[in-house]
Structures are given as C-alpha cells and as structure tokens.
Amino acid sequence: MSDLLILLAAAAPTCFIGVYVVLGHVIGRQRVSDLYGHGLRGSLKVSVGEHIKKVQIIGNVERTGASSSAHPHISIFLGGAIPIDPSVYLKAKVGL
C-alpha cells in the first residue's frame, strides 16, 4: 500500500459524523477514499495535503456528531464516490 494522502480533515459539529478525516490512496489500480468520523474535537493530528504512513495516528475517537457512544465511523468509497461495505472490503483486502 502506498502512502495515504489527507483529502479532507474537518471539525463539523453539525455533521452526523462530527470531526472527520478522509484519506485517499490506491490499492492495486483502484483509487480508494476512506472516511473516519466521530473524532475527538481538537485531536486531529493531520492536515489536508499531508502524506501519512499506514500506521500513523490521525486523531482520537469520541462521540461527536450523531453518536451516542465513542466509536470510529468508517466509510470506504471506490473511485472516490462509490460507497461499499467496509467490513466486506477489509476482510477481502487485508483479512480483518
């Protein structure tokens, strides 16, 4: 897997996912975007345009947005726009 590029990093308290980060990368020849939401306000450790490694911490989890408990919201988009089930995709690609 190549380095990841930060496409968006925002604190949007009125958004259903709250504080979030969107990562862009290529797996095989497929462009993929990952969205991670419900982050802790003030905890983002990345900024737009930054390249990060796959083990780098991007922020902390909290219950921002429309959430009743702290958890990471994960969405995966193929080609940057086609939403897919993250659990199915991760099992197929990385064996999680």
Tokens of 52: 């990060």
> Torsions phi, psi of 91, nearest 5?
-60, -45
Which residue range forms the structural domain that includes residue 66? 4-94
- Is pLDDT above 50 for 1? no
* pLDDT one-digit tens code per residue, 33-76: 999 999 898 898 998 899 888 788 999 999 888 888 999 999 99
Considering its fold, how many domains does the chain have in total? 1
Is residue 13 pLDDT above 70, yes or no?
Answer: no
0.85 exceeded by pTM: no
Q: Is the pLDDT higher at 22 or at 96?
A: 22
Distances (CA, A) of 77 to 19, 31, 35, 43, 70: 18, 9, 8, 24, 23
